[in-house]
Structure 1
């Protein structure tokens, strides 16, 4: 087993969640495990597909399978299944966002950079990853927008994710608004959000509980250990989001391995 590849225990968990592949035109299908390890290599190293190590097979075959499964919703279903099976603690969830720099080669998508989740800044193209995490800092889902988009724009999508309802929602003061607080309270969720300095009416919050919000910051740090996440090389939002789903699944796998 090479560095970064799936262990036998991890593969035993994930194998049944991937669709079987049949050979085409009388050619045998390659091993899903080897192909997935090739995708993880590209994700971790941040290299172009053409520079993928040859031990994982032909780069184009791995890329085609990645894109085909992306279009079929395999990566989203994989993450959703792992979350459903592993999410046992619904005490508190967290939402936050982080900005990633887009590589110059990521520009030029057919639909236009803005529709693919790119925004312009002084330093070039940027994208913003909005995420929701559980109380252990494990990712539950993502929303991708352009870098200059306000956190408010993605809040409804984050709160509307089909996961277990927590008792509390932790967020920084960037999410402090009457609308967000009311939306949480109507769902029976306690908002743990510090008030902004310019808020006219002071709002109390549980400071001790809020200290746990650092776990989603650590989650972003873990995600950015995958270089293809830390710097966006993908032209399309679909490809980047699917790489995020694979990275999130890799973060979830130790939860199941440690149970056995």
Structure 2
């Protein structure tokens, strides 16, 4: 099939340092299995519908589940992102991702801990992201849809590199948030809300470049498994997002 996805030898070489060591029996071909996992996440298929060229679907599922639970795909994205060495600016933002009804049961016992909320827009998950000046994601974090942007950002705070500027949207304009970076020499570039009595000065030209993080969100949502959440467990869903970001921006 001409529309199948296959990783090149160069791409596998980039990812190989993050692979866990195999114990005992050697693993099935990494290139074939990872290519199948990417094809599955890109197109939002059921595992049993994976093309036969990638081998047994149970092998793809087993590798995906084990490596997701170990955080391998998240480490791939974070490790490759560090190599870019951003020093100019990083951007912050958050977006909503729709949760399919198969991903959750809102019952208290079974639905807890899945990071799926029910705000006005329906059941969804919120993705918080930090990206560099050209829109490449540096770190990602997921929360329930109704959780404040500040809570998600606190989880990403330690991963912000030493840069000059931090553009953001109006949701991050509160004083304590802007002052938190003063002692590190990072200047926040965030516009004021309309109801604020004292407008905040900011660099309008630099803030316009924040559209790159919106473009990044759009590219991630081109992957069916990211745009609609089918996974019950948040760690596996975050792995799907990290894998998409790795393929789009790091390979």
TM-score between both structures, scaled by the size of structure 2 = 0.91
Q: SS in structure 1 opposite 2:5?
A: coil
Q: Is the 8 A contact 1:120 1:148 kept in 2?
A: yes
Change (3 A) 1:232 1:40: same
Match of 1:257 in 2: none
The 5-angstrom pairing of residues 152-167 of structure 1 reads: 152-161=150-159, 163-167=160-164
Q: Is the 8 A contact 1:10 1:253 kept in 2?
A: no
TM-score between both structures, scaled by the size of structure 1 = 0.88
Change (3 A) 1:113 1:159: same
- Supply the RMSD in Å over aligned alpha carbons: 2.0
Q: SS in structure 2 opposite 1:186?
A: helix
Deviation, 1:133, is 0.4
Match of 2:57 in 1: 59
Change (3 A) 1:57 1:111: farther
Say whether residues 1:235 and 2:232 are aligned partners: yes
Q: Is the 8 A contact 1:193 1:210 kept in 2?
A: yes
Say whether residues 1:188 and 2:189 are aligned partners: no
Change (3 A) 1:112 1:168: farther
1:32-59 deviation digits (Å, cap 9, x = unpaired)? 1111111101110011222222221222
Deviation, 1:198, is 1.2
Match of 2:136 in 1: 138
Q: SS in structure 2 opposite 1:82?
A: helix
Match of 1:13 in 2: 14
Gaps of at least 5 residues in structure 2 are none
User: Which stretch of the first structure deviates more once superposed, 134-143 or 3-12?
Assistant: 3-12
Count of residue pairs the alignment pairs up: 249
Deviation, 1:253, is 2.4
**Counterparts of 1:4 and 1:113, CA distance in 2:** 34
**Counterparts of 1:30 and 1:60, CA distance in 2:** 12
Q: Is the 8 A contact 2:221 2:227 kept in 1?
A: yes
Say whether residues 1:226 and 2:223 are aligned partners: yes
The 5-angstrom pairing of residues 206-221 of structure 1 reads: 206-221=203-218
Deviation, 1:152, is 1.6
Match of 1:200 in 2: 197
Q: Is the 8 A contact 1:114 1:146 kept in 2?
A: no
**Counterparts of 1:54 and 1:104, CA distance in 2:** 29
Q: Is the 8 A contact 2:117 2:123 kept in 1?
A: yes
Match of 1:105 in 2: 102
1:55-104 deviation digits (Å, cap 9, x = unpaired)? 2122222111122112223222212210122x233200000011011111
Q: Which runs of 4+ in 1 moved over 4 A?
A: none
